[in-house]
Amino acid sequence: MSDPILSLHRLRQVFDGFTAVDDLSMAIPQGEIFGFLGHNGAGKTTTVQMLTTLARPTSGTATVAGHDICADPLAVRRAIGYVPENVRLYDTLTATENLLFFARLSGVADPRARVREVLDLLDCADLADRRVGGFSKGMRQRIGLAQAILHRPAVLFLDEPTSGLDPMGIKMLRDLILRLNAEFGMTIFMNTHLISEIAKTCTSIAVLSHGRLVFHDRIEAVTARYGDDTALEVLYLSLTPVGRLSEVA
Amino acid sequence: MPDAVLTASPLRTIAAKDIRDALRDRFIVIVTAFLGLAATVALMTGAIALRGDVATYEAAKATLLAIGKAADAIKAPEFYPLRLLRGAIEQIEIIGAAIAILIGYRSAASERGRQTLALIFTRPLSRWQFVAGKALAGLGLLAGGLALVLGGLTLVLQLMSGIGLTADDLLRITIVWAVATAYTACFFLLGFLLTLHMRQPSHALLVAFAVWLLLVLIAPQIGDTLDPDNQVAGGVFRQLNIAKSDQVQIMKGFATYETLRDGIEQASVTKHFERFTFAVLGIKATYAGMPLGPILTEMLGNLVWIFLTALGLGALALAVPINPDRLAKA
């Protein structure tokens, strides 16, 4: 196993007395497709906000690609790409104009060439000169993914990437994620609710419940221990409040 | 590993994107065109009247010459074409400030609603660069819009008034353009700041317009309405034939009242803008025909107030940290 590209040590986030993330420690090796599971309000998005330097942790620390998120946030930002849930981009601008904007902000050396390259890579060159305002959810998600990989990040953070997508869109996105990981060695950190996607895409998973890490292992270990994909759902439910309630019932 | 190198200024990139985005927004284009139209109509009405006065004078002069008398037998009236810009200045004061709030609101609300703030802040740039880029775009839009409006008005003035504008007139209009940009920038920053930081962008817009109502419509009027000398047409003192020395003596008895009244006026950046522009353009009779130098010296306080308000709001925008909650939720 290679050195961890993401390393979290006792990470904690408290908002107005509410502990959103509590004492979170884990390490994710380079090249993983990591699935981060948890119920609504479990603290997944807050964790991603801290790792992407959008929010400063209340205590604890983390490194991304060897850079401390508090001490060197600009270096962390150079190493990451981020796709939030339901990203909309700038409706009045074309796909190319949107991507050029983010490429320039990321300091990409030849932004025009890189934008063409990424549009080709994601098989959406036909969208280049169309305004994003007229795009479907799936098209937006692809351009959203394109903006995140323009600067060839080492780690790609995806927050509920399949939210609102139809089955075709989900499959297309899954193939893209697998391709980015296989061809470019990109580490993927994915927040999701879809257990079926975890089984098909991820190499390791973790489950967060009420801000606390309750499970973290490689996917082969999970399937070896619990059997097929359905067992993953049983495992997840047993670790979350909903599962525990059903057990009581 | 990323191969990114910083080749373009993030500040310039953000400003260029914002300007392009706003120029494609029909609402912004339409309201700016409305301001131009309202100001042009106000100017044309005055210009037609002035053209009539000029024609009357020219006809009288021609008649004098025709009957063999000297043209200076009647005193040449003084025409101040820049005074016709009064309506335009009032439109900038009120509608221009409202448009600036809308541009500021749009600048922040559109990023929040589209969740693009999170995309921007995961790029290698500082938050001050983001705020400064936004402010630069706002300034660019306001300066461009005002240049179009005032440039168009200058042309209309030249064509319709029948009086040629001098280099001094053009300089005065240029000064007014620069100060109008700073004045409207105050309202842009107000709308931008509130929308960026308040929980609900729609509430921020309401608060911004409440402040606009207070600063633009209420405070400047209070001064005029509560001025004891304004209670009777032509002035109380004048109607009662009270001598200047006695007026001063009488007003000493109202010192606290006058301080309060003046304080309310002073608090309004709009009043400072009005005082400055009315003086520079000679709209206020006292300053008509007066050279620019002494006017600028006398109006320096108003000028400083306008620029300090804009700079203060700009500094506040740079200093206040952005709540992470505002980054990903509308």
Q: Residue A85 and residue A158: Cα distance in Å, rounded? A: 8
The pLDDT assigned to A21 comes to: 95
Chain A, residues 140-159, CB within 8 A of chain B, namely 147, 151-154
- Domain-wise residue ranges, chain B: 10-324
Q: Which amino acid is at B32?
A: T
User: Over the Cα atoms of chain A, what is R_g?
Assistant: 18
The pLDDT assigned to B184 comes to: 97
Across the range A3-32, mean pLDDT stands at 93
pLDDT tens digits along B98-152:
999 999 999 999 888 788 888 999 999 988 899 999 999 999 999 999 999 999 9
Q: Residue B122 and residue A76: Cα distance in Å, rounded? A: 9
SS3 B282: coil
Q: Cβ of A49 under 8 Å from any chain B Cβ?
A: yes
Q: Cβ of A135 under 8 Å from any chain B Cβ?
A: no
User: Least CB-CB distance to B115: which of A87, A93, A102?
Assistant: A87
Choice between B94 and A39, residue whose per-residue pLDDT is larger: B94
CA-based nearest residue in chain B for residue A152: B2
- Is B118 close to A101, i.e. CB distance below 8 A? no
| CA proximity to A155, closest of A40, A61, A62 | A62
Q: Cβ of A231 under 8 Å from any chain B Cβ?
A: no
Instruction: List domains and CATH numbers for chain A.
Output: 4-248 (3.40.50.300)
Expressed in angstroms, the distance from the first to the final Cα of chain B is 33
Record the tokens describing residue B71, joined without a space.
């043209």
Q: Residue B193 and residue B265: Cα distance in Å, rounded? A: 24
pLDDT tens digits along A170-183:
888 889 899 999 99
The mean-pLDDT minimum among A75-84, B41-50, B320-329 falls in B320-329
Residues 6+ apart with CB under 8 A from B165: B81, B154, B157, B158
- Is A107 close to B4, i.e. CB distance below 8 A? yes
The pLDDT assigned to B3 comes to: 37
Record the tokens describing residue B86, joined without a space.
């009064």
Q: Residue A231 and residue A221: Cα distance in Å, rounded? A: 12
Tell me the pLDDT band of B52, cut-offs 50, 70 and 90: confident
Residues 6+ apart with CB under 8 A from B113: A88, B201, B330
| Cα dihedral B298/B301/B307/B309 (nearest 10) | -150
Across the range B207-215, mean pLDDT stands at 95
Q: Residue A157 and residue A186: Cα distance in Å, rounded? A: 10
* Angle between helix A137-149 and helix A95-105 axes, rounded to 10 deg: 30
How deeply is B267 buried, as exposed, middle or buried, from its count of CB atoms within 10 A (0-12, 13-18, 19+)?
middle
Most confident of A135-144, A165-174, A229-238, B303-312: B303-312
Residue given tokens 């063999």 in the structure block: B68
Q: Residue B316 and residue B321: Cα distance in Å, rounded? A: 10
User: Least CB-CB distance to B121: which of A54, A88, A154?
Assistant: A54
Q: Residue B74 and residue B170: Cα distance in Å, rounded? A: 29
Tell me the pLDDT band of A229, cut-offs 50, 70 and 90: low
Tell me the pLDDT band of B328, cut-offs 50, 70 and 90: low
Q: Cβ of A96 under 8 Å from any chain B Cβ?
A: no
Paired with A12 in beta bridges are A59
Q: Residue B296 and residue B285: Cα distance in Å, rounded? A: 16
Spatial contact of B96 and B147, defined as CB atoms under 8 Å apart: no
- Is B2 close to A86, i.e. CB distance below 8 A? no
